[in-house]
Amino acid sequence: MNPRLQRRFGGLRALGLGARFALSGGRESTVRAALMAIGVGLGVAMLLLAASVPTARHHRDERTHARIDVNLDDRAIDASDHTVLIDDMDTVFRGKEIRGRMVQPEGSAAPLPPGLQRFPRPGEMIVSPALNRLLTSSGSDLLRERLAHPVAGEVGDAGLLDPGEYVFYLGGDHLVAGVGDTRRLDHFGKTYPRKPLSPELVLLGIAGIVVLLVPIGVFIAAAVRFGGEHRDRRLAALRLIGADRRMTATVAAGEAALSTLAGTVLGAALFLTGRQFSELVEIQGLSVFTEDLTPEPVLVLLTVVAVFALSLLVTRLSMHKVSVEPLGVVRRSAGTTRRLWWRIALPVLGLVVLRVIVQNPSGLHGGSGVALVAVGMLALLVGVTAVMPWTVERLTRLCGGYGPLSWQLALRRMQLSSEAATRSVNGIAVAVAGAVALQTLFTGLAHTPADSAARPADRSPASHTRIGVARLDSGAGNTAAYAPAFAATPGVQEAVGFAELSVSPPDGGFSQTVRIADCAQLRRLASLPSCSDGDAFLTAPPGTDRAHDLTTWKAGTTLRVDADGSRWKTPRITATAPATSADPADDAAERILLATPGAAGPTVTTHAVSTVRLTCTTTTEDVQDRVRTTAAKLDPSFAVDFPGQPKGDAALDGIWRALLAGVAAVLLLIAASMLLGALEQIRDRARVLAVLSAFGTRRRTLAGSVLWQTALPVGLGLLVAGLIGTTLGGTLLGIVGRPVVHNWSTLLAIAGIGAVASVGVTLLTLPTLWRSTRPQGLRHE
């Protein structure tokens, strides 16, 4: 036979022999193959979940575009049988945002919002399943009072971004197009090209993908090494009967390939099973529909190829320390010292790539910039796994020779097999390093220089009060009745009611604010010398700079009211008075005109917005929800805002929530990895533990040694992870020119979660440890 063909068929036979060893090599081989399959299966399930992200995002974007209810065509729509009136009724309940719309069809062919089978009748409400559950749950009395309308049905999936979204549609019969936010539509939905994300958001997305995928790769690499010592002894026996290194490596590859195949099938089964329950799971406020979790075919193929390639590569690299002794055992060369230079070279290479090569943030929109950032991050994170064995080896050498017996047993075990000691904690170290980098990056992106120097946004005189503003686009004539209703709400200290509108020069120009109320209300807004109906006053927020004041208040000046073209003449200014309090929504220093109804006249009053300025105490429970409930009872179209509460970037917050959900899932995966690794190590040492127990070693001492074997590498890993994570986060912020701002409490919490997970996993292994110390463990074949 041709030698080349003989080698090829010999390799195939060696692969088959490895597969036979995995299936029929005894209990040890079966357990090892099962552990490998479970580990690989968990990793594959996570990768399939990651491969579903593009599909989930595409479906979410389609649903977002389909329910757009704004006329983006900038064209006039006349009332017809095919139009509908719609008004916004968004609200908030205990921090949960609720999307609300009032709909009023103008004909039998009016377009239905996505997810609705019919329009709700006036006064009826159609709600999302999540909102329906919230309304019927205990502790939602305030929300039930606010949305006190009969529920006539549920919104379908087509009208929701995710299963946990809170949405309702209320039927109306008094909407008028052009009044307030009420608008007329002849269709729902709009398709428009996606706007490119800012370099900051692109960078955060790249960082999230790398941070989430690298720990999974580390986890799969560790799973392939389960039971490595038993495998090495079996392969050494093959060397004794004449097998060469190539054949033993091929046998090991066959064994790993079979376990990887079984793990891939198991991972697919786990993913398909978990997919059916996806709508019941919510992480960091995010949930997905079942059909959203459909992996991209190309990514599925790439996942399978990558998992098999990683499995074979790790198996091949682990074989270089297998040697044959006369009795067929494996001995690792204990005198060899690990070299540090190439281990440090990995993170240094990552820093060089990120700091030197990637200098222009605009390059993040190109393929080369994305690839360079990914390579730099990959080098830094993989550097954690490279530095960890050297660090553990050096520490065990320095700390050996003293300490309690459990400490000595742990150190000796780590000296004999430092790779096994660090392999189980590499995943948690990489995950923590990535989480720290993400937190540092997000904190820097969300931070603005004005955050630390800005005064409190509510400008309230005491820290236990908060300012709120309630506005109603119609009904300016009832302002005097609205303020007492709010004032009677528990937790409201003061309610000042007035009508508000904007005026500007006829040819355009700077918009100016007019507030209309009786003298009693105006005295609560400014220190007036005297007041009677027909007076008008100028005032500006206290402590503001008039250098940029662009207002021009002159008696008899003709101004345009809002944008409808109505004309109004400025009344005679009675006096200029200092403001006693300021509306938190006004950040400018311009002068505001305070006018009595007699001075303003009926023309502007009909165009004004009913406004109630509220001063609330934070010591009253659910005061904000009580205010919103009062507003809804007065008129469902009332909009309540508390400007003192920070409002972040919606896109940035959305990406951050998705990344937090991914980090939580990865940490669960790493905890499972550590548990499997710890169980595998105890199983591998079962006979040694049984011998130690037979010679009188207390179980408490053995448990302490197992705990030290986990705690020491974990402590070192968290230290290295914190250093590399903060360095990586600061470097990424440098790419987009943002200052480094650390949220130390959050960073310590991330490290604490990693430490607690490690200790908790160790405690879960104690029952297996007790079983391993029984006399039956002395049996050996």
Write the pLDDT tens digit of every residue in 113-163. 999 999 999 999 999 999 999 999 988 899 999 999 999 999 999 999 999
Does residue 25 register a pLDDT over 50? yes
Residue with tokens 């904690």, as numbered in its chain? 425
- Dump pLDDT digits (tens) for 187-231: 898 766 666 666 776 777 777 778 778 887 877 777 776 655 666
Q: Which H or E element spans position 559?
A: strand 558-561
pLDDT for res 288? 87
Instruction: Look up the pTM and report it.
Output: 0.75
pLDDT for res 111? 93
Q: Greater confidence, 341 or 156?
A: 156
> Rounded to an integer, what distance in angstroms lies between the CA atom of residue 361 and that of residue 377?
16
pLDDT for res 169? 96
Over residues 170-186, mean pLDDT: 86
Q: What percent of the chain has pLDDT over 90?
A: 14
Over residues 180-186, mean pLDDT: 86
pLDDT for res 708? 82
> Rounded to an integer, what distance in angstroms lies between the CA atom of residue 150 and that of residue 140?
16
pLDDT for res 1? 43
pLDDT for res 171? 93
Does residue 568 register a pLDDT over 80? yes
255 within 8 A of 261, measured Cβ to Cβ: no
Give the lowest-confidence range in 286-295, 572-581, 677-686. 677-686
> Rounded to an integer, what distance in angstroms lies between the CA atom of residue 151 and that of residue 166?
14
Residue 366's pLDDT band, with cuts at 50, 70 and 90, is low
- Dump pLDDT digits (tens) for 519-546: 988 888 888 888 898 899 988 766 555 5
pLDDT for res 170? 94
- Dump pLDDT digits (tens) for 396-419: 777 766 778 888 887 877 777 666
Q: Following DSSP, what letter does each residue of 85-102 receive, concatenated?
A: EEEE--EEETTEEEEEEE
Over residues 564-581, mean pLDDT: 81
Q: What percent of the chain has pLDDT over 70?
A: 76
- Dump pLDDT digits (tens) for 157-172: 999 999 999 999 999 9
Domain positions in the chain: 3-59+197-448+650-778, 80-185, 465-641
pLDDT for res 119? 94
Does residue 548 register a pLDDT over 80? no
For the record, the structure tokens of 164 come out as 């946990």
Q: Greater confidence, 77 or 709?
A: 77
Does residue 49 register a pLDDT over 70? yes
Angle separating helix axes 650-684 and 744-764, nearest 10 degrees: 30
Length of the chain: 781
What is the average pLDDT score of the chain? 78
pLDDT for res 759? 75
Name the amino acid, one letter, at 443: T
Over residues 562-581, mean pLDDT: 79
Does residue 351 register a pLDDT over 50? yes
Q: Greater confidence, 638 or 324?
A: 638
Residue 328's pLDDT band, with cuts at 50, 70 and 90, is very low
- Dump pLDDT digits (tens) for 738-756: 788 777 777 777 777 777 7
> Rounded to an integer, what distance in angstroms lies between the CA atom of residue 598 and that of residue 601?
6
> Is the sign of the CA dihedral 174, 178, 182, 187 positive or negative?
positive
Question: What distance, in Å, lies between the first and last C-alpha atoms of the chain?
Answer: 40
Name the amino acid, one letter, at 263: G
pLDDT for res 333? 44
For the stretch 368-376, contacts whose Cβ atoms lie closer than 8 Å and that sit 24 or more positions apart, written own/partner, are 370/202, 370/206, 373/203, 373/206, 373/207, 373/732, 373/735, 374/206, 374/209, 374/210, 375/350, 376/349, 376/350, 376/351, 376/352, 376/731
- Dump pLDDT digits (tens) for 633-647: 888 888 888 876 555
- Dump pLDDT digits (tens) for 81-107: 999 999 999 999 988 889 999 999 998
> Rounded to an integer, what distance in angstroms lies between the CA atom of residue 246 and that of residue 2?
19
The SS3 of residue 26 is coil
Q: Greater confidence, 422 or 257?
A: 257
pLDDT for res 331? 44
pLDDT for res 330? 45
Over residues 377-386, mean pLDDT: 84
> Rounded to an integer, what distance in angstroms lies between the CA atom of residue 576 and that of residue 553?
11
pLDDT for res 609? 86
Q: Greater confidence, 680 or 299?
A: 299
263 within 8 A of 40, measured Cβ to Cβ: yes
pLDDT for res 5? 41
303 within 8 A of 47, measured Cβ to Cβ: yes
pLDDT for res 207? 78
